Structure 1
Amino acid sequence: MGRGDKKTAKGKRTKGSFGVSRNKEAIKARIKRAASKKTTTAVASESEVAAKPKRTAAKKKAE
Structure 2
Amino acid sequence: MWKCEKAKEKEKERKGKERRGKGKRREEKRREEKRREEKRRKKRKEKKRKEKKRKKRKEKRKEKRKEKKGKERKRKEKKTN
TM-score, normalised relative to structure 2: 0.41
* Structure 1 residues without counterparts, runs of 5 or longer: 1-15, 57-63
- The structure whose RCO (Cα within 8 Å, separation 6+) is larger is 1
1:33 CA drift (Å):
0.2
Of 47, 50, 53 in structure 1, the residue corresponding to residue 31 of structure 2 is 47
Amino acid at match of 1:28: K
1:44 CA drift (Å):
1.0
After superposition, the C-alpha distances for 1:7-49 in whole angstroms (9 at most, x for unaligned) are xxxxxxxxx13328x7011100100000000001101111111
Task: Give the percent of matched residue pairs that are identical in Structure 1 and Structure 2.
Answer: 15
1:33 matched to 2:24: no
**Paired residues, number:** 40
**RMSD of aligned Cα (Å):** 2.6
Q: Could you list the structure 1 runs, at least 4 aligned residues long, displaced by more than 3 angstroms after superposition.
A: none
User: Which protein shows a greater Rg?
Assistant: 2
TM-score, normalised relative to structure 1: 0.52
